[in-house]
Structure 1
């Protein structure tokens, strides 16, 4: 069974005792702590150690940030290139840190990588630093700011950059939780409560989802009964065929309309379903299940329609459902032209754009690497 990997990000020398205690705590829960000072990071000899630390973050499941008195070492240009700074500008209401990239520390860069990858970040700030941050906020626009000494900060010239980064984290659009601490036990108690509460929330959401699925199944059965009653009440044979067609081909047309086919195109096309897809430059249908499981979690049923230029459509249906569309299309082609036109016009009026089919103008291989998993997707054992 895969262990949850927890990246612990902080300066090392001033917080070494706290880090060692936190490591024991994380391991005691059965999780795997990832810490640069314990040789948990793979240091690739072809790149700088700063870059190795940043790269390791995206192989983890969450990050614990500890902010103390030290700024730490400035990140190298190579490591800075690992971050999409433009994307991060939308992550916080205060982006002063991002405006001075050359003043970003390695620790801060690790956190930015975690945020870029949508990882949970738990931020702990030394209570003395937090108090000095409040003093900084009250005076940062005044003439005396350069004369103020912040007792909690080891090197006064770094205070501004530590406090600005705190602002970036606390003013994030989401995940902006901040906790203060005086001793390492404060961090331990907070994490116990937070992780326990988060796990409970996930269990509640799972129960809610299961109940919703049951309701949907019940409504589906009721719809089938209603459909049968309506169709049996239509006396005219042609009208009944049209009504049946609207019901039968609703899912097929939702799929085709999502690919931007127009009713007039579908009325006159007599090729195979595969030929239909090729008209939209689709060269392959890929089952998400080919990628196995990620971090011991199953990938939800869906398919990818790979296009000739390397971009793709994402479909919120399994490949099995798309294969069913092939049979529906063969059946649809046999309908008389006049009835076909009426069915398509009616279904187009009923169609509402949704996330059933999503056109993704990005490289498919890059999407698989960055979105489906932060580390390589492994096969089931």
Structure 2
């Protein structure tokens, strides 16, 4: 069974104990940690090792960024760090990012921010107790200035990281399930509304034009039977919504479809795999075609029989409802 892969991005040396604890924590959740020092990254002999790290990120579903006091080695031919390059790749791929900053570095960043625009202080010469490079602060600013995926949380020890990630990932799962349930409810609602709209569209004309008349009651009954007929439902998918009079006026489904300016194509070579389409570009399997023909004949016979039971002449009914066939 597939499990989410979590890419852990940080400088390796000053945060080794954090990375080791993260590895075991992630495994206890049933997820798969990806750490460069554990051989989880394939280092292609034909490429640079830095590129190999970036190429592994698209295979991951979660990205954990830990920012400590060491800026780390620079990414090939650039001024930013390898960790920064990994972060940029995760942003580009829109992978969920969870950023944590060591508490001392977080405090140093606050001092850096307050003095950066102070003309009386050369902020570049300030020595920070927990950070070895001002570019760490610029990295933090880069994360914070993103319009999305930009949460930053300080940590004092691994317990803080574990507590934060446990809550965040539980929230992420809750959000996913809630959105999925909401989507399913929306689909059900739209389906119900679509069915209701179809019934209203087919019945409203008769009801509004002759409320209470015996003819309208009979026509409503015919429409109800038609709506329950699979052939009529299939035809409605291709914008063919026949009236009882139109069905009476067309002895076969081919004639009915042609009356509405469309055609049926039957492909007898493709067997049962084709689901069936009525259009200028689609085809019907033989099985689907036979089923539609039978259903159409059944509903037409019902209409004729029902009108006969109510002593209604078919020709007179067609004449009276000829406008419905347009």
In structure 1, C-alpha distance between the alignment counterparts of 2:153 and 2:239, rounded to whole Å? 51
TM norm structure 2? 0.64
How far off its partner does 1:213 sit?
1.6
Structure 1 counterpart of 2:88: 112
Structure 1 counterpart of 2:111: 135
How far off its partner does 1:165 sit?
1.1
> What are the Cα deviations for residues 329-352 of structure 1, in whole angstroms up to 9, with x where unaligned?
9xxxxxxxxxxxxxxxxxxxxxxx
CA 1:18/1:210 → structure 2, altered by over 3 Å: closer, same or farther? same
Q: Does 1:226 align with 2:197?
A: no
- Residue 238 of structure 2 contacts residue 278 of structure 2 at CA under 8 Å; is this kept in 1? no
In structure 2, C-alpha distance between the alignment counterparts of 1:328 and 1:106, rounded to whole Å? 53
User: Whose RCO is larger (CA < 8 A, sep 6+)?
Assistant: 1
CA 1:219/1:105 → structure 2, altered by over 3 Å: closer, same or farther? same
- Residue 10 of structure 1 contacts residue 65 of structure 1 at CA under 8 Å; is this kept in 2? yes
CA 1:213/1:55 → structure 2, altered by over 3 Å: closer, same or farther? same
- Residue 249 of structure 1 contacts residue 328 of structure 1 at CA under 8 Å; is this kept in 2? no
Alignment of 1:298-309 (within 5 A): none
- Residue 5 of structure 2 contacts residue 34 of structure 2 at CA under 8 Å; is this kept in 1? yes
How far off its partner does 1:231 sit?
5.4
How far off its partner does 1:326 sit?
3.8
In structure 2, C-alpha distance between the alignment counterparts of 1:249 and 1:231, rounded to whole Å? 21
* Secondary structure of residue in 2 paired with 1:43: coil
Structure 1 counterpart of 2:129: 151
CA 1:30/1:147 → structure 2, altered by over 3 Å: closer, same or farther? same
How far off its partner does 1:233 sit?
6.8
Runs of 4+ deviating beyond 3 Å:
230-235, 247-251, 323-329
CA 1:184/1:248 → structure 2, altered by over 3 Å: closer, same or farther? closer
Unaligned runs of 5+ in 2: 210-235, 241-260, 264-273, 284-326
- Residue 64 of structure 1 contacts residue 122 of structure 1 at CA under 8 Å; is this kept in 2? yes
> What are the Cα deviations for residues 65-90 of structure 1, in whole angstroms up to 9, with x where unaligned?
0000001111013xxxxxxxxxxxxx
Q: Does 1:24 align with 2:24?
A: yes
In structure 1, C-alpha distance between the alignment counterparts of 2:282 and 2:12, rounded to whole Å? 63
CA 1:125/1:212 → structure 2, altered by over 3 Å: closer, same or farther? same
- Residue 10 of structure 2 contacts residue 83 of structure 2 at CA under 8 Å; is this kept in 1? yes
In structure 1, C-alpha distance between the alignment counterparts of 2:278 and 2:153, rounded to whole Å? 52
CA 1:320/1:166 → structure 2, altered by over 3 Å: closer, same or farther? farther
- Residue 62 of structure 1 contacts residue 121 of structure 1 at CA under 8 Å; is this kept in 2? yes
In structure 2, C-alpha distance between the alignment counterparts of 1:324 and 1:146, rounded to whole Å? 73
- Residue 75 of structure 1 contacts residue 109 of structure 1 at CA under 8 Å; is this kept in 2? yes
CA 1:141/1:207 → structure 2, altered by over 3 Å: closer, same or farther? same
TM norm structure 1? 0.55
- Residue 15 of structure 1 contacts residue 68 of structure 1 at CA under 8 Å; is this kept in 2? yes
> What are the Cα deviations for residues 334-380 of structure 1, in whole angstroms up to 9, with x where unaligned?
xxxxxxxxxxxxxxxxxxxxxxxxxxxxxxxxxxxxxxxxxxxxxxx
In structure 1, C-alpha distance between the alignment counterparts of 2:280 and 2:13, rounded to whole Å? 63
Structure 1 counterpart of 2:40: 40
